[in-house]
Chains A and B, each alone.
Chain A
Amino acid sequence: MKYALLIHEDHAAYQSENDLHAVMEQHARLVESLGDTLLAAEGLRDQSTTTTLRRDGDTVDFHDGPFAEAREQLGGIYIIEVESLDEAMDVARQIPMISKGAVEIRPCESEG
């Protein structure tokens, strides 16, 4: 079964380049250890670089942001293929973070 692991973190927690570098290195190690289990992994740039399309019927608008008030923001995604939710939870547990955060474990609609 395929799962998207959506990583939400408070990016302000990354105080220095060193912090970021250390976590990125841990990601690299995890990516390597996952091997074929991993279908895709991306870190996302800061929320301030985001553009959002909003559709209401035929009307389309583009916005800056979302500048949600929440401190935690979506900062990266992993797409993995594993046997069960237990396995997906196990991968999620290994995702590095600088301090606090959350990983949303979302089953994908397509199978195989």
Chain B
Amino acid sequence: MKAKTPEVAPQAGMMTSSLADTLNRRRFELLAALSARFRDIDLAEEALSEACLRAVSQPQPPSDWAAWLYRTAVHAAIDQLRRRQHARRHAEQEQQLRAESADMADSTIPDRRLALIFACGHPAIDATSRAALMLSVVCGLTAAQIATAFLIPASTIAQRLTRAKRKLSGAGIIFEIPGQKFWPERLNAVLSTLEVAYIRSTPGVPASEAGPIHANQIIELADLVSTLLPEESDAHAVSATLNFSEARRRAKADCHGNMVPLDQQAPEDWDQGLIAVARRKLERAERISRTPAAKAPTARHPSPRLIKAQLQRCWCERLSLHAPAPWEAVLQLYDQLVAIEDSPFTRLNRAVALGEVEGAAAALSELNQLSADRMSQFAPYHAVHAAMLAKTGETSQAIAAYDRAITLTEDQTERSFLEKQRSELDR
């Protein structure tokens, strides 16, 4: 047994820093194990906070903070359940815990991270709440941070989080990795949640806790998901796409904050480190999708997510503005994409590539095939239409289309880009 040392202060300092460090690195792991064990995220969060409170007043730091926090939180959760008068149902669990406590020294925390990610991304929860839940539970963000990103009041986000957690514990959503039957739908829900969260993020690494959501938090999460699902092509493809897009983020605006279109971005401004990471992820995704053993029958075709990542790579392979833009390869990929995912948005993007490869007239006839009804409120449609009309010399129609696009665009940088394009036609 250790003798009491008079040097309490430095020891306490060491203790708290290693506690903080543990929480930083393993909060999600702890929360996942607790949530899956009690099938209740709220209870798990409360129990973990309680354990942290107790940790601060520990006289001696344990040898393994994570294991200590886990055990303490399990006890706290059981106490809480007993207070809620559900004690009988959990009595067995407690006995089991007592038995486990016998060899606390090597108690390990079960890895339930993936189970919790799948629960938070359950398709029975609406898309915004799903993203909010993922950011709150998995990334540890506050309601205020999430609210900033989603442009809705923090109280609304808090309400949505409460409702979603209640649904998770009460609606029979199981905290398990889904089986084969539900796999495609459930995986798709998780991946689209990551995509939604990324779109809402701002660049860089978080500077403070109060700040908005930062892209690298979502990218880390996507990396984690792909690491936990090593054989899932789409998980690697999403991770690749996010890394490619992040690599180009700095170049998306010039020094005055004006938007720079993809084909005018200087590749020297792209982050080659992130591009290398993205490329490895995509190669992995491609390798898996070529494997005949890939489980889903749809895996015979490249998935839309794989093609989208390949589109990103096409651009990121450009080394300077002197090199020709890869429009032909882009058009080929959009042809493939339209064949499996025929959405108006995909057709619009294809029309842009078609305009570059075959000329504006070809793009215009393609645009005319899109349903004007569905497109009337869609700013990018009018922007692309305007650009193609301008190229074919239909100046007055182009100006009208730019006006429409400008009215529908909320984003300030995009709007000023469009205004600049329009003013060049006025001359």
CB-CB under 8 A from B124, the residues of chain A are 85, 89, 105
* Residue with the greatest number of chain A CB neighbours at <10 A, chosen from B122, B171, B181: B171
- If over half of B's interface residues share one DSSP class (helix, strand or loop), that class is named, otherwise mixed; here it is loop
Q: Which residues of A contact B (CB under 8 A)?
A: 1, 3, 82-86, 88-90, 105, 107
CB-CB under 8 A from B181, the residues of chain A are 86, 90
- Shortest distance between the CB of B167 and any CB in chain A (Å): 9
CB-CB under 8 A from A86, the residues of chain B are 173-174, 178, 181-182, 186
CB-CB under 8 A from B261, the residues of chain A are none
Indicate if the CB atoms of B170 and A84 lie closer than 8 Å.
no
**What sequence of 0s and 1s flags, for each residue 165-198 of chain B, a beta carbon within 8 Å of any chain A beta carbon?**
0000011111000100110001000000000000
A-B pairs with CB below 8 Å: how many? 28
Q: How far is the CA of A83 from the CA of B179 in the complex (A)?
A: 12
- Shortest distance between the CB of B174 and any CB in chain A (Å): 5
CB-CB under 8 A from B186, the residues of chain A are 86
Indicate if the CB atoms of B171 and A107 lie closer than 8 Å.
yes
Q: How far is the CA of A110 from the CA of B172 in the complex (A)?
A: 12
- Shortest distance between the CB of A33 and any CB in chain B (Å): 15
CB-CB under 8 A from B173, the residues of chain A are 84-86
Closest to B174 in A: A84
26 inter-chain pairs at a CB distance below 8 angstroms, sorted by A residue, are A1-B172, A3-B172, A82-B172, A84-B172, A84-B173, A84-B174, A85-B124, A85-B171, A85-B172, A85-B173, A85-B174, A86-B173, A86-B174, A86-B178, A86-B181, A86-B182, A86-B186, A88-B172, A89-B123, A89-B124, A90-B181, A90-B182, A105-B124, A107-B170, A107-B171, A107-B172
CB-CB under 8 A from B171, the residues of chain A are 85, 107
Q: How far is the CA of A85 from the CA of B186 in the complex (A)?
A: 12
